[in-house]
C-alpha cells in the first residue's frame, strides 16, 4: 500500500527530528508486550501477528490480522483481513487499521482504512488501548456502523436508503471472504 501521510506534517517533522530512536524503542517494547499477551490469550477466531521482513526478521510495526464476523449477524460467515500500521510514536498515537482488500462498509474508506473513534487521537484513543481491544472494537463496528461518521459513500447510502440491498451485499462479501473455521 501507499505510505501513511500524517495530517499535520509540521508536528510529524518536529517529532521525527526530536530523536526518533527512543520513540521507536518505546513502540517496539510495547508491541513486543502486545505480541506476548496476544499469544497467551486472544478472542476465538481472531488472528494478529507481526509481519515478516524480506530478510526473514519480524516487523513489529506492521501486523497482519483477521477478524471473524460476529455470530448471528450478516457478517458471520466472513473472516476479514486487516493490516495494522504502527507509527514510531505508538502508543501515543493509534495504529492505522486497513482492510486489505477494502470492505463494503459505511465506516471503511475506499482505501480500506477504518474510521473509528477508538483509532482517532482527537477522539477516544488512549495509550492503554490494546491490540485485542482494537480488533474487538472493529468487529463490533462491522455490524453496528456509526452513521454519524461515514467514510464511504456507496455503503453509507445503501445502508440508509435500502437496508435489504445492504444486507445482501454484506452477505455476498462474507461469502467472498469465507471463514474456513465455519
Its pTM stands at 0.86
CA atoms of 133 and 118, how far apart (whole Å): 9
Report the pLDDT value the prediction gives residue 181, as an integer from 0 to 100.
Answer: 81
Sketch out the chain's domains with CATH numbers: 9-176 (3.10.110.10)
SS3 147: coil
pLDDT on residue 75: 98
pLDDT tens across the length of the chain (182 residues): 445 444 444 444 334 444 445 567 999 999 999 999 999 999 999 999 999 999 999 999 999 999 999 999 999 999 999 999 999 999 999 999 999 999 999 999 999 999 999 999 999 999 999 999 999 999 999 999 999 999 999 999 999 999 999 999 999 999 999 998 87
Contact 50, 59 (CB under 8 A): yes
- Which residue out of 23, 65, 97, 115 is catalytically annotated? 115
Helix (H) or strand (E) holding 105: none
Phi-psi region of 14 (alpha: psi -120 to 50; beta: other; left: phi over 0): alpha
Q: How far apart are CA 62 and CA 27, in angstroms?
A: 12
Q: What is the pLDDT of residue 8?
A: 45
Cell numbers at residue 34, please?
502486545
CB atoms near residue 114 (< 10 Å): 25
Q: Is 6 helix (H, G, I), strand (E, B) or coil?
A: coil
Helix (H) or strand (E) holding 84: strand 79-85
pLDDT tens-place string over residues 82-101: 999 999 999 999 999 999 99
The residue count of the chain comes to: 182
* Residue 115 bears catalytic tag: yes
Sort strands 96-99 and 58-68 into parallel, antiparallel or unpaired.
Answer: unpaired
Amino acid at each position: 500500500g501507499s505510505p501513511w501521510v500524517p495530517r499535520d506534517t509540521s508536528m510529524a517533522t518536529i517529532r521525527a527530528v526530536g530523536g526518533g530512536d527512543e520513540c521507536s524503542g518505546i513502540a517496539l517494547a510495547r508491541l513486543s508486550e502486545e505480541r506476548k499477551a496476544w499469544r497467551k490469550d486472544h478472542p476465538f477466531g481472531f488472528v494478529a501477528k507481526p509481519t515478516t521482513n524480506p530478510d526473514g526478521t519480524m516487523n513489529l510495526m506492521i501486523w497482519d490480522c483477521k477478524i471473524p464476523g460476529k455470530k448471528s449477524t450478516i457478517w458471520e460467515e466472513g473472516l476479514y483481513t486487516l493490516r495494522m500500521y504502527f507509527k514510531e510514536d505508538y502508543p501515543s498515537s493509534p495504529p492505522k487499521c486497513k482492510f486489505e482488500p477494502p470492505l463494503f462498509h459505511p465506516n471503511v474508506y475506499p482505501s480500506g482504512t477504518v474510521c473509528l473513534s477508538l483509532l482517532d487521537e482527537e477522539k477516544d484513543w488512549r495509550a492503554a488501548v490494546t491490540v485485542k481491544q482494537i480488533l474487538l472494537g472493529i468487529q463490533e463496528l462491522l455490524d453496528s456502523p456509526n452513521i454519524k461518521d461515514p467514510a464511504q459513500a456507496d455503503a453509507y447510502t445503501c445502508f440508509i436508503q435500502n437496508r435489504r440491498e445492504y444486507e445482501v451485499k454484506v452477505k455476498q462479501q462474507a461469502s467472498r471472504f469465507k471463514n474456513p473455521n465455519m
